A and B are shown apart, each in its own frame.
Chain A
Amino acid sequence: MPTIDNELCMGCGKCMDVCGFGALILDVKAIPNNEKCISCGMCKGHCPFNAITVKDVEKQEKIRRIKKWALAYAKVNGFNVNPDEKVVDTIIEGLLKKEGKFGARYCPCRIQNVRENVCPCVYHKDEIKKDGACHCLFFVK
């Protein structure tokens, strides 16, 4: 479960937008739901106030959780995770590599390590609509 620092949280709701499990609700501040949250950590890098902390787990477990997140997130947003597992595995490795090196899960197919490029990036929904897949081919129609 992520811990949310109430001093830092401004209640912007960005974490809720990227959660695939509906595990966050907003009551002035973001409140995580124990029963729904799988601690995938995908919300962390999206918080503009760095209010979210997620307990570190070993790499294989992280990969498993990110995959679970991707499936859930795609489902609630009406698209799919790329059925090509090699592509998905490569991207997840890339996300973890960027997290280790630059502190957040920035898109491995974009150069700049800025908040807009934290996966799921600000572009993916438009790209899926327009091109049938996000630039990274992580998500497809």
Chain B
Amino acid sequence: MDYPKKPVELSDETFTETIQKYPIVVVDFWAEWCGPCKMIAPELEELASELSGKVVFGKINIDENQLVAGQFSISGIPTLLVFKKGKLVDRIIGFSPKNNILARLQPHILLSE
């Protein structure tokens, strides 16, 4: 399978297809003028590279893509949704440093190995 090493830009149109394509997908809901979204972005870039082959990272701009945000009742950003085989398994709200995100993802990764 072709695994991206960087967070993939998603839209309302490509969202479902992407979360079903890979075993574990983490989707970052963000907006341009959200301070903590800007802070979490580089953490996710690093994770996307380090976890390439295991986890795919996606990002979706909620100003431009309101359908998916509404579907998952996103109320604050950044929010990370973790999907396993297309199913929502975890939700991380607000800024978290890389290691905390990794710790939350670890059980999902181990269980799928």
Name A's B-contacting residues (CB within 8 A): 82, 86-88, 90-91, 93-94, 97-98, 108-112, 131, 135-138
Contact B94 A90 (CB under 8 A): no
Known: A87-B35, A88-B35, A90-B38. 14 other contacts (CB 8 A): A87-B36, A87-B38, A93-B33, A94-B34, A94-B35, A97-B33, A108-B33, A109-B35, A109-B76, A111-B69, A111-B76, A112-B75, A136-B36, A137-B35
Contact of A87 among B39, B74, B76 (CB under 8 A): B39
Number of interface residues of B (CB under 8 A): 18
A86 touches B36 (CB 8 A): no
Q: Nearest Cβ in chain A — how far from B32, in angstroms?
A: 8
Among A98, A109, A112: residue with most chain B CB under 10 A: A109
6 A-B interface contacts by CB (under 8 A):
A87-B35, A87-B36, A91-B35, A109-B78, A110-B76, A138-B35
Q: Is the CB of A108 within 8 A of B38?
A: no
How many A-B pairs fall under 8 Å by CB?
Answer: 57
The chain B residues found within 8 Å of chain A, CB to CB, are 31-39, 62, 69, 74-78, 94-95
Whether B76 pairs with A90 at a CB distance below 8 angstroms is no
Secondary structure of the B side of the interface? Answer: loop
Q: In chain A, what residue has the closest Cβ to B35?
A: A87
**How near does chain A come to B94, taking the closest CB pair, in angstroms?**
5
Chain A residues near B39: list those with CB within 8 A.
Answer: 87, 137
Contact B75 A111 (CB under 8 A): yes
Query: Among A87, A90, A111, A136, which residue has the most Cβ atoms of chain B within 10 A?
Result: A111
Q: Could you tell me the distance in whole angstroms from the C-beta of A118 to the nearest C-beta in chain B?
A: 15
The interface residues of chain B lying within 8 Å CB-to-CB of A135 are 36, 76, 94
